[in-house]
Amino acid sequence: MTTTTLFLLRPDFDDAAFGPGKFYCPHCVALEGLLATYPRLRHEIAVRYVDFPRPRPAVIAEIGEANQSCPVLVLGANEASRPDLPASARRAENGRVFFVGEKDIGAYFAVRFGIARSH
């Protein structure tokens, strides 16, 4: 049985393309806020932090090199076939089902764990 895993970028990363200083991913921070609002979610899924620079080996190992964007939620094998999950945002690669971005991940959390939906 595989675990449902949320991959988020570690904050305070460098990105020379954006200039000097440290950065954070606003999409990942939005999900950090959701996890803080509903702390029980951290007991339902695994949360893994990955570094900003690509390649991101942990994500590649799950869903392939073409799908390294974060945040991404990779469903466990027991979750992937649930008929009640948002089908329109569902993606699949390497035999794994996943959702990309805070909006689609939040929609999954609402359906799967019964938290409030985004307004």
Residue 80 pLDDT: 78
Does residue 1 register a pLDDT over 60?
no
The DSSP 8-state label assigned to residue 15 in this structure reads E
With CA atoms as reference, report the closest residue to 40 among 115, 119, 117, 118.
115
67 phi/psi in degrees, rounded to 5: -125, 55
For Cα atoms 46, 48, 51, give the angle at the middle one, nearest 5 degrees: 170
CA distance 10 to 32: 11
CA distance 28 to 70: 7
For the stretch 6-50, pLDDT in tens is 999 999 999 999 999 999 999 999 999 999 999 999 999 999 999
Other beta carbons less than 10 A from residue 73's beta carbon: 25
Confidence of residue 104 (pLDDT cuts 50, 70, 90): very high
For the stretch 43-83, pLDDT in tens is 999 999 999 999 999 999 999 999 999 999 999 988 877 88
Residue 65 pLDDT: 96
